[in-house]
Structure 1
Amino acid sequence: MAVENVLKLAQENNIEWFDFRFVDLSGRAHHISLPASEVDEDTFLNGVAFDGSSIPGFRGIEESDMVMMPDPESVFIDAFTAHPTLNIMCNIFTPDGERYERDPRGIAEKAEEYLQTSGVGTAAFFAPESEFFIFDDVRYQSDVNVSSYSVDSNEAFWNTNRKEDGGNLGFKIRKKGGYVPVAPVDSQQDIRSEMCRLLEEAGLRIERHHHEVATAGQAEINFRFDTLKLTADNLMKYKYIVHNTAQQYGKTATFMPKPLFGDNGSGMHVHQSIFDGDTPLFYEKGAYANLSEMALHYLGGILYHAPALIALTNPSTNSFKRLVPGYEAPVNLVFSKGNRSAAVRIPIASVTPKGCRIEFRTPDSTANPYLAFSAMLMAGLDGIKKKMDPRELGYGPFDKNIYELPEEDKVGIRSVPASLEEALDELEKDFDFLLEGDVFTADFIQNYISFKRAEAKDVAIRVHPHEFSLYYDC
């Protein structure tokens, strides 16, 4: 959308505020609002100043001045503000006009530019399946003398005997029993439909929504694929709208991977493919899962670099509470057609040539989407460049339920790292593929590793409530 069209849109909708947004290393959005009377074409040329030293992982106080440069293609009207507001995603620049190398959205742009100059294709398409929980109550505390959390949901199986106003009406969701039941067991049809309505108003094309496997309000909404940066923008809109719709309903939504012990966690399965113009490059009729050699090399790169990638696609300590066998978590670094126990699945149901794709099932929504999608693309392109054949590298195909294989048959199957620290160790050893085309820089990687190690240490040094169960009577 041209700048003049953005200003026209604002005028036609009586916009009072322009909300300029950017994304930090963790994938959280930040914003500064300007009155509509103060926004003109010069604002889009000169940007909006902000203090980069107040954003964790950005810059020191001695070089804190930074500039948000608005992207007029990213605008959408905010559905949650009392005063009409137009939201705009921004890229980050230094005051001298240089692209800031630690800007996640800028990295996504560079990844797309690298693809186009590589000669492989013209566009990479991504489609994340970002699962989440809708709770009725959440409480947590971490202090010198207390460490606790509690979540609750009217749907949860542990509430079958709870006294409720008007009586307990039953119809709770059993543990691991939440996959697509109808109402009244699924009590969240309307809130998900409202989320979808608002997402469509914000420009996303919704494909479907449903209840997910876990008890206590696990949900999934699927939106249409798009190019790398635009899909990351859409995922930021998605999380914003999910969080705020839940808040309006008096509920709370979380994309935390594992808020419940003993039930399924929330993942972000990422579908991806490459096109050359209108021609899909991942399709070859009659091949295994109708997958082209290029697609096999791409997924070979994903699996080869997966231990390092996971530091970017599963970047929280909680991520590794989900990545354990037995809860549909894809911990095995192999590929397969239609097999949800493999880290890389090739969907085969109702797939057209243009719909032919791979699905990396390991990631979760604590990932910064700009960084995660860029890193996956770079790993895949490295696989194409080096012709990494996953069959020769021992990554499959495995068309059996890997969870149920005898231990002797699992010999040689690599698993994901067991912790965030292990994933960061892997990234420290294997990041050269991310530096191609200056998409990521060594400075960014080193800063990111330090930033995430600090998070891991914060968790590791704290007393865990379960330790009282294990050791208090020692």
Structure 2
Amino acid sequence: MEKRLYSEALRLLKKYRKGDEMTEEAVKILKENNVKQVLCAFCDVRGYLQMFSIPAREFTDGSAFEGIGFDGSSVRGFKTIEQSDMVWVPDPSTIKIIPWIDDPVQKTAIMFGDCYEAWGTEVANCDPRGYVAKRLQKMLGDEGKTAIFGPEIEFFVFDSADPTRLTWDMWVSPNGGAGDSWGPPRVMPDSPEVTPGGFIIRPKEGYFRAPPEDTTVEYRNELVYYLEQLGVDVEYHHHEVATAGQVELDFKPKQLVDVGDAFYLYKFAAKNIAAMYGMVATFMPKPLYLDNASGMHTHQSLWKGEPFSGEALFADPDDEFMLSQTARYYIGGLLEHAKALTALCAPTVNSYKRLVPGFEAPIYICWSPRNRSALVRVPMYLKKPSAIRVEYRGADPSCNPYLAFAAMLAAGLDGIKKKIDPGDPLMKDVYELSPKEKKEFGVGELPTTLRDALDHLASDEVIQKVLGSHIFDAFMEIKIDEWNQYCLYITPWEFMKYLDI
């Protein structure tokens, strides 16, 4: 079965090489727009966007569509030095002109691709896009089904964020933020949220704020303009809850591979447009002490056939919540694998400073309609089958999207396969429940540290299978090393707390 999927993936990717219709269309786009350079994009196991540039003539007149060799040992989680030769094979269907570059000398396109073994013989088992996301999407398609994902990606825009010049922010409260405070927390990075007239957004009061307090509107408008030219259609955007320039732009849902590509186009555009404004866009989950963090709540649904034209498998018009039994089993799978999912969906040390009580983060394992204190929420906005979906709230924008979305889908499909009952929905504010009540309702808790999450991933065979042994081993090695580095580091907080002990 696995070999058949590899062969099919190889066949699908080879059709993109020079001579087919998509390649011809890509060549036409490059020539008509007088593109001089092509940014060739993929990601490492951690989820960091990787790029190199090839002159456009190598695609229009040369053999670049057949693949470009690179050193896989220099990419985190890919290859050891004795197996370092790899081939990047472009996916011409993804070619986009970078719209904010007008200079004819600098005219650039971006194109995603997949990473192959030496000689370009097969998709490499270290490639999150080609090996994990494409493989799972193909497997689902063979069953006549599709899955779509709509992530709500939050991030911060700062005037500057120099790690060597952060404002000391420890003494804002005598007890770590609970109870009475000695004053509002100061922003650690420099913030754009103080207007010339002196308006300021107070901590936790930024949601849907209007100008002039919201100073990010022009930046967001320009970002939307460019994202739409990149094929990422934004449905709406707004200031988020935190102060200091926290924003959110939501784009229309896409299938597994496409949503991963869109995630990177979103990040790439957000960072570059911020730089044009002299600012810094950061997707670090929790950059501010005692204020809300950035999450990536992910809406998802299954369809028989094509999304929005086929059958909505999550919808049942006769159900109280418009929710089918298939959707309930899918929720059961998400809850069953939630602790292991957290390692991939919240993969940094900093992620776990978001997953704490008091900042709207979903730390309790349960599901509910409408209820934002639950890990899995069923939105109740429009009462029609095409709008029915489930929202997994445990992810943040530091993740590798191909791995995180694929793992969520695998968990949900496992729930359907095994008919995992999620139990009754919890209709209460979970944050207000006592420990005894949470136990009575069977409410579990997500891991509280990256190390805890990795331990749960290490024992989850379903999630390991979708990753494959190479990516699982590489991810674990990278993240355990990251955790060990963090444990060895002596923080300023420790000097403040223990120097006079």
TM-score for the superposition, normalised by structure 1 = 0.92
Aligned to 1:112: 137
Q: Which moved more, 1:71-80 or 1:42-51?
A: 42-51
Aligned to 1:338: 370
Aligned to 1:399: 427
Which one of 391, 396, 411 corresponds to residue 359 of structure 1? Answer: 391
Q: Distance in 1 between matches of 2:92 and 2:300?
A: 26
Aligned to 2:414: 382
Structure 1 runs (4+) deviating above 6 angstroms are none
Q: Distance in 2 between matches of 1:288 and 1:373?
A: 28
Instruction: Verify: 1:230 aligned to 2:255, yes or no.
Output: no
How much has 1:431 moved relative to structure 2? Answer: 2.7
Compared CA separation, residues 342 and 31, structure 1 to 2 (3 A): same
Q: Distance in 2 between matches of 1:433 and 1:27?
A: 17
Q: Distance in 1 between matches of 2:229 and 2:192?
A: 29
Instruction: Verify: 1:456 aligned to 2:483, yes or no.
Output: yes
Compared CA separation, residues 381 and 42, structure 1 to 2 (3 A): farther
**1:59-458 to 2 correspondences below 5 Å:** 59-81=79-101, 82=103, 83-96=106-119, 97-106=121-130, 107-117=132-142, 119=143, 121-141=144-164, 150-155=188-193, 169-277=197-305, 278-391=310-423, 396-411=424-439, 412-435=442-465, 439-458=466-485
Read off the aligned partner of 1:325 and give its amino acid letter: P
How much has 1:150 moved relative to structure 2? Answer: 3.8
Q: Distance in 2 between matches of 1:209 and 1:154?
A: 18
Instruction: Verify: 1:37 aligned to 2:57, yes or no.
Output: yes
Compared CA separation, residues 462 and 223, structure 1 to 2 (3 A): same
Are the counterparts in 2 of residues 122 and 275 from structure 1 also a CA contact under 8 Å? yes
Read off the aligned partner of 2:460 and give its amino acid letter: D
How much has 1:86 moved relative to structure 2? Answer: 1.2
Q: Distance in 2 between matches of 1:8 and 1:241?
A: 24
Read off the aligned partner of 1:458 and give its amino acid letter: Q
Are the counterparts in 2 of residues 140 and 150 from structure 1 also a CA contact under 8 Å? no
Q: Distance in 2 between matches of 1:401 and 1:53?
A: 48
Aligned to 1:160: none
Q: Distance in 2 between matches of 1:319 and 1:43?
A: 43
Q: Which moved more, 1:365-374 or 1:24-33?
A: 24-33
How much has 1:116 moved relative to structure 2? Answer: 2.4
Aligned to 2:23: 3
Q: Distance in 2 between matches of 1:311 and 1:234?
A: 22
Read off the aligned partner of 2:437 and give its amino acid letter: D
Q: Which runs of 5+ in 1 are unaligned?
A: 157-163
Q: Distance in 1 between matches of 2:320 and 2:359?
A: 27
Are the counterparts in 2 of residues 136 and 152 from structure 1 also a CA contact under 8 Å? yes
Task: Specify the SS of the correspondent of 1:18.
Answer: strand
How much has 1:286 moved relative to structure 2? Answer: 2.8
Read off the aligned partner of 2:422 and give its amino acid letter: P
How much has 1:444 moved relative to structure 2? Answer: 2.1
Q: Distance in 2 between matches of 1:41 and 1:453?
A: 46
Cα RMSD for the two superposed structures? 1.8
Q: Distance in 2 between matches of 1:111 and 1:292?
A: 23
Are the counterparts in 1 of residues 45 and 471 from structure 2 also a CA contact under 8 Å? no
Compared CA separation, residues 471 and 105, structure 1 to 2 (3 A): same
Compared CA separation, residues 284 and 248, structure 1 to 2 (3 A): same
Q: Distance in 1 between matches of 2:296 and 2:494?
A: 30
Q: Distance in 2 between matches of 1:115 and 1:39?
A: 32
How much has 1:351 moved relative to structure 2? Answer: 4.4
Task: Specify the SS of the correspondent of 1:7.
Answer: helix
Are the counterparts in 2 of residues 257 and 319 from structure 1 also a CA contact under 8 Å? yes
Q: Distance in 2 between matches of 1:378 and 1:154?
A: 40
Compared CA separation, residues 382 and 211, structure 1 to 2 (3 A): same
How much has 1:42 moved relative to structure 2? Answer: 6.3
Are the counterparts in 2 of residues 173 and 185 from structure 1 also a CA contact under 8 Å? yes
Read off the aligned partner of 2:327 and give its amino acid letter: A
Task: Specify the SS of the correspondent of 2:407.
Answer: helix
Q: Deviations over 1:198-238 (max 9, x none)?
A: 00011111100100000110000010001111011001000
How much has 1:139 moved relative to structure 2? Answer: 1.6
How much has 1:407 moved relative to structure 2? Answer: 2.8
Q: Distance in 2 between matches of 1:129 and 1:232?
A: 13
Are the counterparts in 2 of residues 344 and 361 from structure 1 also a CA contact under 8 Å? yes
Compared CA separation, residues 60 and 306, structure 1 to 2 (3 A): same
Q: Which runs of 5+ in 2 are unaligned?
A: 1-20, 171-186
Q: Distance in 2 between matches of 1:444 and 1:38?
A: 31
Q: Distance in 2 between matches of 1:388 and 1:414?
A: 16
How much has 1:95 moved relative to structure 2? Answer: 1.5
Read off the aligned partner of 2:332 and give its amino acid letter: G
Are the counterparts in 2 of residues 126 and 228 from structure 1 also a CA contact under 8 Å? yes
How much has 1:432 moved relative to structure 2? Answer: 3.3
Q: Which moved more, 1:406-415 or 1:227-236?
A: 406-415
Task: Specify the SS of the correspondent of 1:408.
Answer: helix
